Structure 1
């Protein structure tokens, strides 16, 4: 997996911003698509994917329960 994506859940991160989530989503989409920046004809699909991954990440993080906390 992409080494620049950091863990966003406690106890690794106490406060996660929208920017943190978006950055992780962008890195993930870059990794799986193989594009650092997509060509103009792929830009819309690329941005939709980043938005979808960011939304799924938000949902996951808000649903997790960390034991012992």
Structure 2
């Protein structure tokens, strides 16, 4: 899934790019995008989506106590 497809599936724009890196050894581009919204209980939830060379690689719940590991 591309970044555009993820945005369409989530029906919202990303909140921000929280990390990005170009790996010179593997020539890979890694980008972590944060999506923030509200769940059914009106509590704010944030998720980090990890894109490797523009394709969704994995996702996880955002943790305010640390930064994404890339």
TM-score of the aligned structures, taking structure 2 as reference length: 0.25
TM-score of the aligned structures, taking structure 1 as reference length: 0.25
Q: Look at both structures and tell me which one has the larger radius of gyration over its CA atoms.
A: 1
**Larger RCO (CA under 8 A, 6+ residues apart):** 1
- Bigger proportion of residues as helix: 1
